[in-house]
Structure 1
Amino acid sequence: ARPSARAVVLGLLPGVLCAAAVAGLRLTEGRTRLLVAAAGTLAVALAVRALLRHSAPSAPGQPHAGPRTPGIRAWTCWLLAYAALGDGLLGVAVHGGPDGPPDGTASGAWPLAAAPVLALALACAPAAWLTRRFTARARHRLTASRGLEEFGASVRPLLLGVLGAFLGALAALLAVCGAVLHEPAAHAQALTLGALLLLARLLTTHGSTRAPAAALGAAAWAEAIAQASVFAARLPGCDPLGVPVDALVGTWGPGCVPALACGSAALALLAHATRTLSRASAHVPAEEG
């Protein structure tokens, strides 16, 4: 399970590039800031893609990091974009805004939340290491177990331990990023999103793609519908459409929408992962099956 030097570099690269992009946003203005945001987004996306393709163990019978998952990638991009801009848009939308496009700051007409996105990018390194560790230890236990029931009973706590370790690391990164950037750490929405993404990654690495795609898609649709309902309520006679989201935001703030959406999807995916990853077939290489 020991990662190579290449895997370490790929794990750290998304966080480094995201930190550079956030610094660029803080140091620039106007059109230059938009160019920095576009370049930073592209660089981080390419770094994450390289990490997912090369730094994790292969799924059984699959090259690199598993089967191609365009649907999962699309939903993941939406969820990360919402983490950066969704709460800010929803917060101003319930009060009649926004009054302009996002300007890359936390105090603009459409606020940007840089702290949770930076923390998630930095968390790519522990996520990659934990994914590799889980796969290696599960395969070791498969060879050491005396029966399938014993193997399943040993893998379930391993899965929960990996998830708990990742959430602990992510919580620490959120606290640090929030303090450095002087922004709310957004623990609830970022931790639930992080849990959802890690579980999707674990399942995808071991050859299961339908459930991760469904869970990520459900969370993305829930966020999109919540946003759309607020704007739809501005149409004549459609005021009731915005009442549920207005009530939620008024009581718990805009962060409750992604926290509920991603948290519910993560719980469902955890239940599925507990069943799927405790099966021997999820860990046996194709040449041994």
Structure 2
Amino acid sequence: MHRHRELCERAVDPLEVAAGLEAQGFTDRTAARYRHRDVFSLAEELYARVPRRPEEVRVAEDRPEPVAPWALAVLAPGAVAALAWLGLALTHGPVRAAVGAAGALALGGALFLAVRHGPLRAPGGRTVPAARLWALWLLAYAVGGDGLLAEVLTGGPDDLWELTPGPLLGLALAVAPAAWCAHLFARRARRRIADSRGLADFAAAVRPLLLGTVSLQLLALAALLLPTGAGPGALALGALLLLARLLTVHGHPETASAALAAACAAEVLALASVLSSRLPVPGFDALAVPVRAVTDAWGPGAVPTLVCGAAALGLLAHATGSLARASAHTTP
């Protein structure tokens, strides 16, 4: 009680105390040392025996929910991408290249603004800096990776390969629904903290909430990608980026960065294996066999679909465990 007095004084229910203990490594085995059957039972006793700070609790309960000032920030990537798309459609030659470069820089700034505000912002700025590089590579591959892979498979590239900005437009437009999905997920999960009777009850309620959030975002992303003609690789990439951001926001940035890095490494390996097969070294021609088999069957777009889809499924499996813990949803 002395060690965790501040946590118990600020808590508004026993589950918040349990979440704090869980975040510090408490398990049911640890609770058994204090003659309690589980962490929630121990938290209930601490909550009952430590007096609240009524003035702080009252202020927290009476504070109205602020109007979302981040709504404009999450709309900025879609607006910038749409303007860049229009500029590319209306220009030619060097002017088109300049418009594309300016649009890419403006879109990068808009994305940075979107993840620095609102529900996509990591609390305390706790992120892995390298994750930005991995995300940029995945977005760049969505624009030009399929064309580059097709050129490499046919002995090129001899000139600038075909770029497809459609997936980038759809993903940029999907930032706004992704932010709202993350907002709804966080708000409903925190509401479950007050309604649940224990940690297991909370986990059972949050898992379908997480799956529903991901499904809702995928439906919105599919609707936005359909007019652009983007393939399933962009949908898989959108799912990967959403899950990575949810894990980052809720305190697991290292796992999110590792998944993004693995997806980048797989895409680089696919290109490198084809290029390495050109070396006049016995046996190196077999390096390109897996990539050629996949592309011959389903086309170059199958590589990012498989890579990002596998990474997204891995993150989803991890998130169903880590984001179902009450400690992932405590308010800083």
- TM-score normalised by L of structure 1: 0.88
The corresponding residue for 1:153 is 204
The corresponding residue for 1:97 is 156
**1:191 is matched with which residue: 225, 235, 250?**
235
The corresponding residue for 1:107 is none
Partner SS for 2:116: helix
**1:73 is matched with which residue: 128, 132, 139?**
132
- C-alpha contact 2:127 2:248 (8 A) present in aligned 1: no
Quote how far apart the aligned CAs of 1:202 are.
0.5
- C-alpha contact 2:177 2:217 (8 A) present in aligned 1: yes
Deviates more, 1:250-259 or 1:233-242: 233-242
The corresponding residue for 2:111 is 48
Residues 131-183 of structure 1: CA deviation (Å, up to 9, x unaligned): 111111100101111110110000000000000000000111111222xxxxx
CA distance in 2, matches of 1:268, 1:30: 43
Residue 252 (str. 1) matches residue 298 (str. 2): yes
The corresponding residue for 1:119 is 170
Where do 1:13-52 residues align within 5 Å?
13-52=76-115
Gaps of 5+ in 1: 102-109, 179-184
Residues 189-237 of structure 1: CA deviation (Å, up to 9, x unaligned): 0111111000001110111111101111101100000011111111213
Residue 130 (str. 1) matches residue 181 (str. 2): yes
Partner SS for 1:282: helix
Letter in 1 for 2:237: L
Identity among equivalent pairs (%): 53
- TM-score normalised by L of structure 2: 0.77
**1:205 is matched with which residue: 249, 253, 271?**
249
CA distance in 2, matches of 1:191, 1:44: 19
CA distance in 2, matches of 1:254, 1:207: 35
Letter in 1 for 2:89: R
Quote how far apart the aligned CAs of 1:96 are.
1.4
The corresponding residue for 1:268 is 314
Quote how far apart the aligned CAs of 1:29 are.
2.1
Residue 83 (str. 1) matches residue 142 (str. 2): yes
Deviates more, 1:230-239 or 1:192-201: 230-239
Gaps of 5+ in 2: 1-63
CA distance in 2, matches of 1:32, 1:70: 33
Partner SS for 1:68: coil
CA RMSD of aligned residues (A): 1.6
Letter in 1 for 2:116: R
Q: Aligned in 2, Cα 1:222/1:277: closer, same or farther, shift over 3 Å?
A: same
Q: Aligned in 2, Cα 1:26/1:283: closer, same or farther, shift over 3 Å?
A: same
Q: Aligned in 2, Cα 1:44/1:57: closer, same or farther, shift over 3 Å?
A: closer
CA distance in 1, matches of 2:202, 2:189: 8
- C-alpha contact 1:171 1:191 (8 A) present in aligned 2: yes
- C-alpha contact 2:119 2:182 (8 A) present in aligned 1: yes
The corresponding residue for 1:169 is 220
CA distance in 1, matches of 2:151, 2:143: 14
Quote how far apart the aligned CAs of 1:4 are.
3.8
CA distance in 2, matches of 1:145, 1:279: 12
Quote how far apart the aligned CAs of 1:57 are.
6.4
Q: Which runs of 4+ in 1 moved over 2 A?
A: 1-6
Q: Aligned in 2, Cα 1:240/1:30: closer, same or farther, shift over 3 Å?
A: same
CA distance in 1, matches of 2:169, 2:179: 16
